[in-house]
């Protein structure tokens, strides 16, 4: 694996330390087999998104979705079966998992649904009024009439 040193960038920037943390987390995810639980990230509208994860074998009570600061954490722990099962082949892994997604500013989770073994998490970007573009009205000032001073003939 190739490593990158971003130290020179941080010598002359302030407040971008989150970017280095994000890059390091992305590199660690690739190293640690970040492919368990395949997922899609879709843009469903101008300001809306959807994460779809395969969660075969997990029920609603086995899953947990939480937002901590700017991180969406999706975790699952398979419930216990009533009776032990003897598998001849086990292709559906029901091991515990935790998947983290870094959220940009103003991204809010609006809901989640579990349908046919797929977990759908809907997100939307909600900009505060102070951040939205606004139009400034231009006022046209009407020039005031000035009285001309008349010269008196001498």
pTM over 0.85: no
Tell me the per-residue pLDDT of 16-60, one tens digit each, with 9 for 90 and over: 667 767 777 666 665 555 567 889 999 999 999 999 999 988 999
Q: Catalogue the E-assigned strands of 77-144.
A: 97-102, 107-115, 118-125
Say yes or no: 60 and 18 in one domain.
no
Q: What is the mean pLDDT of the chain?
A: 82
- According to the model, what pLDDT value does residue 148 have? 63
Say yes or no: 72 and 102 in one domain.
yes
* Structural domain count, the chain: 2
Pairing of strands 118-125, 107-115: antiparallel
Tell me the per-residue pLDDT of 135-145, one tens digit each, with 9 for 90 and over: 889 988 887 77
Tell me the per-residue pLDDT of 67-125, one tens digit each, with 9 for 90 and over: 998 899 999 998 777 778 888 998 887 788 999 898 988 899 999 999 999 999 999 99
Residue 55 C-alpha from the chain's centroid: 20
Domain that holds residue 1: 1-34
- According to the model, what pLDDT value does residue 151 have? 67
């Amino acid at each position: 694996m190739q490593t990158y040193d971003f130290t020179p960038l941080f010598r002359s920037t302030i407040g971008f330390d989150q970017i280095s943390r994000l890059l390091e987390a992305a590199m660690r995810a690739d190293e640690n087999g970040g492919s368990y639980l395949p997922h899609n990230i879709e843009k469903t509208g101008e300001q809306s998104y959807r994460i779809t994860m395969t969660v075969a074998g997990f029920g609603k009570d086995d899953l947990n979705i939480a937002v901590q600061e700017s991180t969406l954490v999706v975790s699952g722990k398979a419930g216990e079966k009533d009776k032990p099962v003897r598998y001849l082949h086990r292709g559906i892994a029901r091991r515990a998992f935790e998947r983290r997604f870094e959220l940009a500013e103003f991204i809010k989770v609006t809901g989640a649904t579990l349908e046919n073994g797929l977990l759908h998490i809907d997100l939307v970007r909600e900009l505060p009024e102070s951040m939205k573009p606004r139009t400034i009205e231009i006022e046209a000032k009407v020039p005031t009439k000035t009285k001309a001073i008349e010269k008196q003939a001498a």
